[in-house]
């Protein structure tokens, strides 16, 4: 099975939920809306923390995606593009949603070809609208990779001049051979500035249930010949089909965990992996049927237990200040992360209001800070995106 497949942007399709999942999500939304206050009054507790796998086992069974194989697959996909000298005057655009690995893939691909990786401009350079940050990095017409197009603008009256000049240079063919990466949210905003005939775009195919199952199962084996049986901790149902050489008495009952994971994550691998990583358990629930435990003991190989979907504690949007939360979340997603100072520049909120919203959303596990930038977390992304949809904000198409 081909894991890493790149498709034109117009052909990208997230996994679709089943009728059962749509109905359950509808009822869950009703419960959330009418019982939000009560639910939020209770402190968050990780019920299964004591059953979680130790770090060394998680590293072996569910290591973080390395993306190198994805970069090699991209290399195969771009063979014809690289061979066509004329097309190299028009950079190719690689779009990816948050946590899809598109930045890491481009950086690894650049290493394969020894292409220069262009660093994004600082806020001061964006406001100045000066292309010197780019000309200083493109030397002697060397080919280049620019993974962070969304960092070339700020949604501000004075923050769009640089991106317009950048596109003018691209359109004129003055930047030479290049490969541009952009977050899907940034592209939703920036495509209004991109000439229509510069539409050479690619995206990594979304991970549906089948593809995601295949990837996570292969990730767990690590290329070794080991029997790992993944079963739901509340009822013993198999999350993945057991290996063909493992005998199972009676019929095999399959869990719907992977279908739910694919839909909830919208087929974005980094988000699906984060939830999967946090779902693995060292032992089953106490209430599990005795025959399921006995079967697990009798089967060859190690059983890894997976928390059922109903027990996973997904982040929930905090009540109140809906408009302010939406301002912050939308700005962060459009720019793939911002500092607190930048948030105050691109939203109608005061610095104090920005700080209040940051810590409110951080406590809800929807935001986290890294290297001075605030970003929507991988587990918080699905609820943040749905929150913006519910409140009429334009969202990406991924």
Considering the domain architecture, whether residues 325 and 346 belong to the same structural domain is answered as yes
Q: What is the pLDDT at residue 38?
A: 42
Considering the domain architecture, whether residues 80 and 164 belong to the same structural domain is answered as yes
The answer to the question of residue 396 being in a domain is no
The residue assigned the tokens 């087929």 is 267
The last residue of one of the domains, among 204, 219, 238, is 204
Is pLDDT at 65 greater than 80 in this prediction? Answer: yes
The answer to the question of residue 34 being in a domain is yes
- Tell the burial category of 45 from Cβ atoms under 10 Å away from its Cβ (0-12, 13-18, 19+): exposed
* Cβ 296 vs Cβ 285: under 8 Å: no
Considering the domain architecture, whether residues 159 and 189 belong to the same structural domain is answered as yes
Considering the domain architecture, whether residues 76 and 107 belong to the same structural domain is answered as yes
Q: What is the pLDDT at residue 102?
A: 96
Is pLDDT at 29 greater than 90 in this prediction? Answer: no
The closest alpha carbon to 267, from 206, 328, 204, 182, belongs to 206
Quote the percentage of the chain above a pLDDT of 70.
81
Residues 246 and 233: their CA atoms lie apart, in Å, by 20
The answer to the question of residue 40 being in a domain is yes
Strand partners for 238 = 231, 254
Considering the domain architecture, whether residues 105 and 132 belong to the same structural domain is answered as yes
Q: What is the pLDDT at residue 374?
A: 97
Is pLDDT at 292 greater than 60 in this prediction? Answer: no
The last residue of one of the domains, among 204, 238, 258, is 204
Please provide the average confidence, as pLDDT, over all residues in the chain: 84
Q: For the domain that residue 121 is a member of, what is the CATH number?
A: 3.40.50.300
The closest alpha carbon to 14, from 366, 196, 272, belongs to 272
Considering the domain architecture, whether residues 325 and 368 belong to the same structural domain is answered as yes
Residues 314 and 365: their CA atoms lie apart, in Å, by 9
The answer to the question of residue 35 being in a domain is yes
Question: Is pLDDT larger for residue 267 or for residue 143?
Answer: 267
The closest alpha carbon to 387, from 338, 330, 313, 312, belongs to 330
Find the range with the poorest average confidence among 52-61, 66-75, 102-111, 257-266: 52-61
Q: What is the pLDDT at residue 170?
A: 83
Buried/exposed 306-332: b ≥16 CB within 10 Å, e otherwise: bbbbeebeebbbbeeeeebbbbbbbbb
Considering the domain architecture, whether residues 177 and 103 belong to the same structural domain is answered as yes
Considering the domain architecture, whether residues 155 and 27 belong to the same structural domain is answered as no
Is pLDDT at 115 greater than 80 in this prediction? Answer: yes
**DSSP letter, residue 159:** S
Quote the percentage of the chain above a pLDDT of 90.
52
Q: How confident is the model at residue 45 (pLDDT cuts 50, 70, 90)?
A: very low
Q: What is the pLDDT at residue 260?
A: 95
Strand partners for 117 = 145
Q: How confident is the model at residue 169 (pLDDT cuts 50, 70, 90)?
A: confident
- Find the helix or strand (DSSP H, E) in which 26 lies: helix 19-41
Is pLDDT at 36 greater than 50 in this prediction? Answer: no
Considering the domain architecture, whether residues 165 and 92 belong to the same structural domain is answered as yes
CA end-to-end span of the chain: 23
Domain that holds residue 349: 316-390
Q: What would the pLDDT profile of 343-358 be if each residue is shown by its tens digit?
A: 999 999 999 999 999 9
The answer to the question of residue 226 being in a domain is yes
Q: What would the pLDDT profile of 187-221 be if each residue is shown by its tens digit?
A: 999 987 776 555 678 999 999 999 999 999 988 87
Question: Is pLDDT larger for residue 107 or for residue 21?
Answer: 107
User: What are 358's two structure tokens?
Assistant: 């940051």
**DSSP letter, residue 254:** B
Q: How confident is the model at residue 318 (pLDDT cuts 50, 70, 90)?
A: very high
Considering the domain architecture, whether residues 263 and 321 belong to the same structural domain is answered as no
Is pLDDT at 296 greater than 60 in this prediction? Answer: no
Query: Is residue 359 classed as helix, strand or coil in its secondary structure?
Result: helix
The answer to the question of residue 95 being in a domain is yes
The residue assigned the tokens 């909120």 is 349
Question: Is pLDDT larger for residue 52 or for residue 305?
Answer: 305
Q: For the domain that residue 353 is a member of, what is the CATH number?
A: 1.10.10.10
Question: Is pLDDT larger for residue 224 or for residue 391?
Answer: 391
* Cβ 396 vs Cβ 335: under 8 Å: no
pTM above threshold 0.75: yes
Give the C-alpha distances (Å, rounded to integers) separating 25 from 32, 264, 274, 383: 10, 10, 21, 12
Q: What would the pLDDT profile of 5-18 be if each residue is shown by its tens digit?
A: 999 998 999 998 76
The answer to the question of residue 214 being in a domain is yes
Residue 273 — φ and ψ, nearest 5°?
Answer: -65, -40
User: What are 241's two structure tokens?
Assistant: 């089909």
Q: Is 180 left (phi over 0), alpha (psi -120 to 50) or beta?
A: beta
Residue 379 — φ and ψ, nearest 5°?
Answer: -75, -25
Q: What would the pLDDT profile of 132-152 be if each residue is shown by its tens digit?
A: 898 888 877 788 999 999 999
The last residue of one of the domains, among 283, 311, 339, is 311
The answer to the question of residue 9 being in a domain is no
Considering the domain architecture, whether residues 224 and 110 belong to the same structural domain is answered as no
- Count how many domains the chain has: 3
Is pLDDT at 391 greater than 90 in this prediction? Answer: yes
Considering the domain architecture, whether residues 116 and 87 belong to the same structural domain is answered as yes
Strand partners for 144 = 116, 178
């Amino acid at each position: 099975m081909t894991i890493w497949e790149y498709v034109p942007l117009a052909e990208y399709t997230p996994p679709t939920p089943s009728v059962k999942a749509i109905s359950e999500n509808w009822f869950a939304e009703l419960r959330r809306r009418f019982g939000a206050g009560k639910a939020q009054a209770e402190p968050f507790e990780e019920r299964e923390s004591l059953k979680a796998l130790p770090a060394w086992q998680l590293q072996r069974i569910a290591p973080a995606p390395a993306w190198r194989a994805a970069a090699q697959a991209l290399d195969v996909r771009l063979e014809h593009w690289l061979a066509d000298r004329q097309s190299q005057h028009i950079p190719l655009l690689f779009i990816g949603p948050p946590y899809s690995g598109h930045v890491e893939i481009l950086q690894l691909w650049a290493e394969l070809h020894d292409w220069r990786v262009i660093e994004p401009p600082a806020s001061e350079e964006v406001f100045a609208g000066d292309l010197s940050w780019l000309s200083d990095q493109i030397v002697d017409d060397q080919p280049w990779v620019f993974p962070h197009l969304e960092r070339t603008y700020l949604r501000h009256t004075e923050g769009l001049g640089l991106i317009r000049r950048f596109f003018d240079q691209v359109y004129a063919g003055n930047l030479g051979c290049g490969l541009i990466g952009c977050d899907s949210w940034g592209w939703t905003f920036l495509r209004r500035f991109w000439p229509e005939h510069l539409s050479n775009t690619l995206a990594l195919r979304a991970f549906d249930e089948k593809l995601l199952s295949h990837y996570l199962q292969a990730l767990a084996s690590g290329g070794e010949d080991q029997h790992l049986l993944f079963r739901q901790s509340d009822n013993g149902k198999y999350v993945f089909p057991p290996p063909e050489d493992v005998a199972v008495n009676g019929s095999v009952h399959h869990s719907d965990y992977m279908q739910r994971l694919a839909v909830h994550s919208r087929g974005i691998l980094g988000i699906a992996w984060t939830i999967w990583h946090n779902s693995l358990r060292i032992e089953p629930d106490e209430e599990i049927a005795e025959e399921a435990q006995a079967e697990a003991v009798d089967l060859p190989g190690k059983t890894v237990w997976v928390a059922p979907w109903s027990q996973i504690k997904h982040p929930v949007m905090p009540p109140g200040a809906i408009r302010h939360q939406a301002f912050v979340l939308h700005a962060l997603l459009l720019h793939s992360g911002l500092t607190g100072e930048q948030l105050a520049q691109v939203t109608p909120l005061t610095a104090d209001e920005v700080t209040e919203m940051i810590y409110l959303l951080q406590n809800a596990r929807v935001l986290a800070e890294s290297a001075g930038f605030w970003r929507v977390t991988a587990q918080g992304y699905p609820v943040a995106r749905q929150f913006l949809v519910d409140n009429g904000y334009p969202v990406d198409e991924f």
